[in-house]
Structure 1
């Protein structure tokens, strides 16, 4: 296959990816707008930290990557295919998968040491995102625990407003579901980083790999800590049966 044909093929793939990403983003937005049921606590959906782990990697970067890829295709860039891939990695990072992430980083940084330093910075940034999300989650969890405690007191004193309690329990269930979804996406990111580290490790061990491993370990520890808090809330909620 000639170079021109390869470039054209890559560009076609970029167009397809852009279209699918944009459609995914639009479809996701539309479905949420059509949902008339009460959602989770607004602090879990509207805060500054809500964007990082609320969706799967593919969904999370859909619109941003799609727009970037289309911009490349319409630009005067000499290498539209490379531009398109760069737009994707800027919007998605490791969220789009270990192979995608590593291929792009290798195209940017031929030196393994520099590449690993960049990856380590990415892991540390996502760890900070986990910490920010945890802070928000803890506020919501604390309030939900207070509501559960009040429902228990009202049940014990035979003063329970059942309809109100059912609404509150439904809201707490929504919060737990949202946080569990976030946790799944957090773990997925950490897993993809670990895959990248293993692929780089095959090229030879280094001090940078050890630093990346430590950063991934710290990220996993933060995720595990949040998991415990969500599990504790679920246990407290599960102890309530309104009948």
Structure 2
């Protein structure tokens, strides 16, 4: 078909009837309602501030309330931007790792293949261990939480999601063991864009789910288990893992 690129695949998020397309339509339809709510909140702040103090203070209160609501809506919108574009977030995570993690002595490999398990977005190797990181963008309304050690997604058990990620990490650990001749645990991590992630970090069923911006602090708070020499040895072994095509796009 004319007008379509043979190099860039079609993005399902841009097709009419997709969840992203419906979300955009609902967001546009709700614009007037959001403005009415903001105006009502600002008016209430103006009245209360004027009654309690004076007109200038009332005007200041109205501006602050309107600005706070605008900022909150913007943050809400920005949080779902990766999902709305039909992306998974691997490029954003790669930038975070490059800017805030690599200079701390961590080695990062992007886009590696684990035979039988598919593609791995990032392998982070450092003194705190080896972390296998996968990215996922989810709808804004999706809820992810931990309860009594179990993972729940939209109030339903998330055991399948945890098992798939955990098994991929176990397969990566097995490949490193074959190359090094000793056990090297690999910890499964999922970076989530969008959705409602309980307290910004959920750890359940052997899997950690968190926001990209929390990765550096999360890594820094972990205990050191490898010396620099051991880190280099593990990194060199990990470099022999097959490279996927994705590695060309996240650098």
Tell me which protein shows more helix as a share of its residues: 1
Choose between structure 1 and 2 for higher RCO, CA contacts under 8 A separated by at least 6 residues: 1
Band of TM-score, shorter chain: under 0.3
- Please report the TM-score for the alignment, with normalisation by the length of structure 2: 0.26
Between structures 1 and 2, the one with greater strand share: 2
